[in-house]
Structure 1
């Protein structure tokens, strides 16, 4: 799960802003300037990623942003002896070798050095076993979502996902849940100030002062013309416009869970756990979708951290609530022990189940069909609207480009 998103979206709250104050009356007199680490390795055959980011807020506006930390030296120490080196796959993301899978009962520790020489190390994390998920069920709930899908709106319909499992006896177990959602997407690309081209557009090659001409090499991207002020060039449109393009094959939008859900079996040790609500899947579209539910084990220290973060980001706002503080994780700066670092490195065993959510029990319209502007809906646009916050605007007069086609760029 991209837990980093939840970290950053909550940082301003955690550094002193509480929800019992009218947002219009807030004057931000603090700043966020922290290193954020996101890393949970698992026992599954999947990419094992460590993400390093720098989160900072503008001192004047209070708006927060993140910058990926690049060129770091990142490694995972196994059982205090074996060193596994990570490589940077994209800015700020460091991946362990493709064949690496963590193992239950083994100890893991994160170590990394930044380009400025600062060295960081996590506490050691021992991967705990996780019991398998026995059963997954889903029920439609008109108020499933804890927060409305749209700012200022009140749409909260979705499906509550429940899991059942046998909790092991005679051992303390700590759990966390994540979900991944595959939604059918019929519209795959938007081009601003241009059109989508399958093949390259030949430079400085025009036809009848009206068309651009495509070549034979694949391009598969938006072609945005440059005004060269050439006499033969088609008219250049400076007005703002966006064209949306339908998918040419079956396409799915992949969404990830956005909340933390933890559980301690202190009062249910060894029992059969029946239908615990672990996910709320938004009712974006009336078509069926695929949901993957992941049940993760946690070491005791990791559970304490995630539970604290869960309480501070999801249960605040009452008059009796204690103002939240920044959740400092299990990573320290070896050069400067006073540095506050947000995030947690841990190791989790995973039981994953994929569930086909047919949405046959829904009531009312999906969020994608509740466009307040009442714009004409294009075919297959129900999920496009909530993901882009607009209905698709197709380019009706331009064909998908292939070799040798002449292509006109119409105005908006």
Structure 2
């Protein structure tokens, strides 16, 4: 499963590498970084099994940090040194194993990848440990839930606690992450463009008809003059079906059972879900069993990304992972490939115990108006701006809105619940009927 947490934190960590001394007025990176970043975990669940490949790179002209997806690589996962399963590239830098692939407890997995220039990389073997069960789970609202604060000031949310019976017959290493499912009403935003279900065909300036092919995307006219309908505007489109926004954890929670081996681990905090909106949400908590080497890597990684000082401090070094260049072992490769037994448990949070205001509250203008506007404001820091509906007979002092599709294609359309790595039209497990 894609690890948005690791990708986001790796980006933050790598962006610090060239910053030994920082002018607080100029946070432009003073060097170039060109490092391969690998992020992949094979699990025992029936879920998308994804390996992410990127270059960590600073622009050679401006020095500003960014990432560049690694495309056209050959990516394989090898089980027990015998069974080879290829992954296919679904989007730039994202390689997914076949839909029916599922890891098996006790088996060894290795990542092998070859770049388009022929450079070959391999990971160490990772034996998938068994997954322990989450016995109980509950959530509690707190005005001081989020640390560090969201947007630098907001701290309200629900703390999620679990109870775990630690297996006594082995040393166990745990990692927790989560996905927050928030009901989403707005599914697409188009800046200087418009959403279209069928392929738009421009027949004259700012006039269109719908073509025969499915499009389901924002269409951006190639030549936009100041008089064009979409010039300088952003339009938002409502979801066609039920939809949930998938918001991933942004920190790393780890635990070593060295001092509690075989005991009950009660009331252990594993998640902090921001108070985005008054409506309910569902948090799917994932408990992963790590190999000892993977735990040490993630612990070092967490210490360096979560326990460092300000930007003016000497930055940490990026921890080198378990993937290496076969021909050049001295090449630095960041990130980790591992195999984890995973146990997932959902918790529905009705948010009826809230205090104060949600993140979707505008401190200047108050609560945004309209369905789904609180979550939209929380994520975008502005109110939604829907495409105006055509109205040939507007009320007095209201502008005339003419359908710019001359074949009378209904406007505005609704949008698909997509992209599927950020939203889902399928009701998450544990959501009440």
TM norm. shorter chain > 0.5: yes
Residues 1:262 and 1:107: Cα distance change in structure 2 (over 3 Å): same
Secondary structure of residue in 2 paired with 1:385: helix
Residues 1:28 and 1:15: Cα distance change in structure 2 (over 3 Å): closer
Secondary structure of residue in 2 paired with 1:7: helix
Residue 13 of structure 1 corresponds to which residue in structure 2? Answer: 16
Residue 308 of structure 1 corresponds to which residue in structure 2? Answer: 300
Matches within 5 A, 1:67-78: 67-78=68-79
Secondary structure of residue in 2 paired with 1:303: helix
Work out whether 1:219 is the aligned partner of 2:215. yes
Residues 1:340 and 1:377: Cα distance change in structure 2 (over 3 Å): same
Which of 243, 259, 279 is the matching residue for 1:251?
A: 243
Q: Tell me the distance in 2 between the aligned counterparts of 1:201 and 1:92.
A: 30
Residue 350 of structure 1 corresponds to which residue in structure 2? Answer: 342
Work out whether 1:391 is the aligned partner of 2:394. no
Which of 264, 269, 279 is the matching residue for 1:277?
A: 269
Residues 1:408 and 1:128: Cα distance change in structure 2 (over 3 Å): closer
8 Å CA contact retained: 2:290, 2:340: yes
Q: In angstroms, what is the RMSD of aligned CA positions?
A: 2.9
Q: Tell me the distance in 1 between the aligned counterparts of 2:286 and 2:108.
A: 22
Q: Tell me the distance in 1 between the aligned counterparts of 2:367 and 2:159.
A: 30
How far the C-alpha of 1:354 sits from its partner, in A, is: 1.2
8 Å CA contact retained: 1:15, 1:325: no
Residues 1:90 and 1:237: Cα distance change in structure 2 (over 3 Å): closer
8 Å CA contact retained: 2:209, 2:405: no
Q: Deviations for 1:270-320, whole angstroms, at most 9, x for unmatched residues? A: 00110111111111111001110000000000000000000000011189x
Residues 1:276 and 1:211: Cα distance change in structure 2 (over 3 Å): same
Residue 47 of structure 1 corresponds to which residue in structure 2? Answer: 48
Range with greater deviation from structure 2 (334-343 or 4-13): 4-13
Residue 130 of structure 1 corresponds to which residue in structure 2? Answer: 131
How many correspondences in the alignment? 397
Residues 1:228 and 1:401: Cα distance change in structure 2 (over 3 Å): closer
8 Å CA contact retained: 1:197, 1:401: no
How far the C-alpha of 1:216 sits from its partner, in A, is: 5.7
8 Å CA contact retained: 2:207, 2:404: no
8 Å CA contact retained: 1:174, 1:265: yes
Unmatched segments (≥5 aa) in structure 1: 230-234
Secondary structure of residue in 2 paired with 1:397: coil
Q: Deviations for 1:177-229, whole angstroms, at most 9, x for unmatched residues? A: 110111111112222223333344443169xxx96444565433334445599
TM-score (norm 1): 0.87
Residues 1:408 and 1:138: Cα distance change in structure 2 (over 3 Å): closer
TM-score (norm 2): 0.83
8 Å CA contact retained: 2:321, 2:335: yes
Q: Tell me the distance in 1 between the aligned counterparts of 2:69 and 2:209.
A: 39
Work out whether 1:338 is the aligned partner of 2:338. no
How far the C-alpha of 1:113 sits from its partner, in A, is: 1.1
How far the C-alpha of 1:84 sits from its partner, in A, is: 1.9
Secondary structure of residue in 1 paired with 2:303: helix
Matches within 5 A, 1:6-405: 6-17=9-20, 23-24=24-25, 28-58=29-59, 61-150=62-151, 153-204=152-203, 212-214=208-210, 217-225=213-221, 236-237=228-229, 239-317=231-309, 323-372=315-364, 374=366, 377-398=369-390, 404-405=407-408
Q: Deviations for 1:359-385, whole angstroms, at most 9, x for unmatched residues? A: 111101101113435585333200001
